[in-house]
Amino acid sequence: MLSSRMPPQTHDQHNEHDQDPDFLARLGTSGEMSENYSPIPEGYQQGRTKFVVVLGTVMSGLGKGIFSSSLAKLLKDKGLTVAPIKLEGYLNIDSGTLNPYRHGEVFVLEDGLETDMDLGTYERILDQNLNRKNFLTAGQIYTEILERERRGDYLGRDVQMIPHVTGEVKRKLRELALTGNQGKQCDVVFVEVGGTAGDYENGFYIEALRELAFEEGPDSTCFVALTYIIEPSILGEQKSKAAQLGIKRLLEAGIQPSIIACRAKDPVTNQVMEKIGMFSNVPMNRIFSMHDRESIYTIPDAMRAARLDGQILSILDMHERVDPTHEDRARGEWKQFTQQLLATRRHKINIAITGKYAALRDAYASIDKALEHCATQLSADINAHWIDTTSIETSADADKALAGMHGIIVPGGFGLRGVEGKILCVEHARTNRLPYLGICLGFQVAVIEYARNVMGLPGAHSTEFEPDCAGAIIAELPEQKKLEGILGGTMRLGAQDVVLREGSLARHLYNGQASVRERFRHRYEVEPGYIDRLADAGLHFSGRHPDYPIMQVLELESTQHPYFVGAQFHPELTSRPLTPNPLFMGLVAAAIRTAEPEASLDDLPAQWKPNHSGDTANGHEFAQSPG
């Protein structure tokens, strides 16, 4: 690579850059422009933060996010501060426009960034809210570089993949490291690289990470290769050749793995692990069998049993940072959860999830996990029925599809396809007193159904689906967007406050909290002119925006329905293994009562037992929440 001299500058121009650390990093002592470009953010201490990098080989979709988050949990349990980041190779700025059939659900972070479903895995396993610094795409990187180039920030240099693109990646990782606990630089950054070694689109990430490990110095970086062990049925044995060749691609890129995780259906044999260790220079005690397990939540314990956490600490020279008391407490809490998770369930219920992406469960991954969290807490064996609403055209279709169900969820979504089927499912739930939870669009279609069939407004609809409808009961409200000043583009995204009405079921489910913070992803609202009319007809809005007439939770009284709740937000996004979301807990508890009306519910947590004290929440016979 040829060096280039700094372009002529005036005195003022030179002074402008004197305090610019990026400029100083690029300028050599002889006045020549340095070939290196590795920005160090102000306040960053090299050597303080360690990096664990998880890379894929052979094929994608093997669970790099699950492995990385599980490993991060082990170190967080030890009292270390951890920060995960997902590096995506696609050119999209975020995941908001990606088709669920291609990329699974869109997971919305606290600050409103739309990301892929792996960020949900990190939040759930780490019990940690993430933000836009935890998700990086090639589109973000290139956009920032081009904006810098247009401003002249590169001082006339030709902008190249190396060092400028790789330098921006290193800058982002170091900036993330600074977002530690209580203003301190975090202990470990976990980096997951999307795709597999050898992909064109992630090659610059892999090169940037090689450079980072070199610059940060010895004991700074642990590379983990997640590979795949094939087991052709025609052979009846595990074969390691594909894994060896995949790891070879990393070695060719200058990456020496410290740990190898072997993804497989069955436990990986010692013979296969010996072969992989021999060809990758990794000892056997650092090769982990990541075979199929009953639940992903058991993987942290399996890693701990294999002493992977100790290996990581040794590789990164971090044993002295461990807090044993913190670790004992965290391990005890997680152990209690996994014991409940694997225990025999006392209740059996059927829950219908009615949407247009029912053929792909990844499109509703967070709903699936939220139900799993509740099932563990309430000892329920939940049989989830994924129902495609595009095939439901009549009430008879809905009755047939929902026969035998004990609860119904209508999830969020965009577009007209399947909407009328969702409305028919809402009608079935309401008229048959079947526990119901509507999420986002499920909230909106509940309002439409009630307006049509209870208030006698057959033309009620949403302007999203019928712009010129006579009864625009759901509409996009530009005057509210102007007032609120918190909407990103035309979408309302991220965490917002929800004020809960005193005496409502919603407030009771949230343990008496007057206000809660949940995450939104929508454009359309209940038309304010219909709010009082709906309430007078019996549809109560028990959650609303703190300042404006934006309705966010609806419910029916128990005289009308045992459990009928809708949320304009996405409660599934904030559900965690140890703290399930209250709206899902209420649905599952109500479904248990529907399935087993004569059964004793003494084993349920206090707030989900039938109330014998006479206290009610909006007429619902729930016991008072503990505490």
Distances from the Cα of 514 to the Cα of 526, 572, 607, angstroms: 22, 20, 17
Distances from the Cα of 443 to the Cα of 58, 363, 426, 447, 530, angstroms: 42, 18, 10, 7, 15
CA 508/CA 431 separation, integer angstroms: 24
557 secondary structure, DSSP code: -
Q: Is 29 helix (H, G, I), strand (E, B) or coil?
A: coil
Is the preceding omega at residue 163 within 30 degrees of 0, hence cis?
A: yes
Q: For 215, list phi and psi in degrees, rounded to 5.
A: -70, -35
Name the β-bridge partners of 350: 383
410 secondary structure, DSSP code: E
Residue 31 CB: number of other CB atoms within 10 A?
Answer: 8
CA 523/CA 520 separation, integer angstroms: 9
Name the β-bridge partners of 85: 191
Which ranges of 345-403 does DSSP label H, i.e. alpha helix? 365-377, 395-401
Which ranges of 488-544 does DSSP label H, i.e. alpha helix? 505-509, 528-536
Whether the Cβ atoms of residue 187 and residue 277 lie closer than 8 Å to each other: no
- Crossing angle between the packed helical segments 166-177 and 138-151, to the nearest 10 degrees: 110
CA 192/CA 87 separation, integer angstroms: 6
Cα 344 versus chain centre, distance: 28
**Sole residue written with tokens 């109560």:** 540
**Sole residue written with tokens 């009608």:** 427
CA 188/CA 81 separation, integer angstroms: 7
Catalytic residues: 440, 570, 572
Burial class of residue 14 in the structure, from the number of CB atoms within 10 Å of its CB (0-12 exposed, 13-18 middle, 19+ buried): exposed
Whether the Cβ atoms of residue 542 and residue 513 lie closer than 8 Å to each other: no
Nearest to residue 202, comparing CAs of 212, 194, 210, 191?
A: 194
Whether the Cβ atoms of residue 497 and residue 517 lie closer than 8 Å to each other: yes
Residue type, 524: Y
Joined together, the tokens standing for residue 451 give 């307006």
CA 529/CA 152 separation, integer angstroms: 52
Nearest to residue 168, comparing CAs of 142, 198, 196?
A: 142
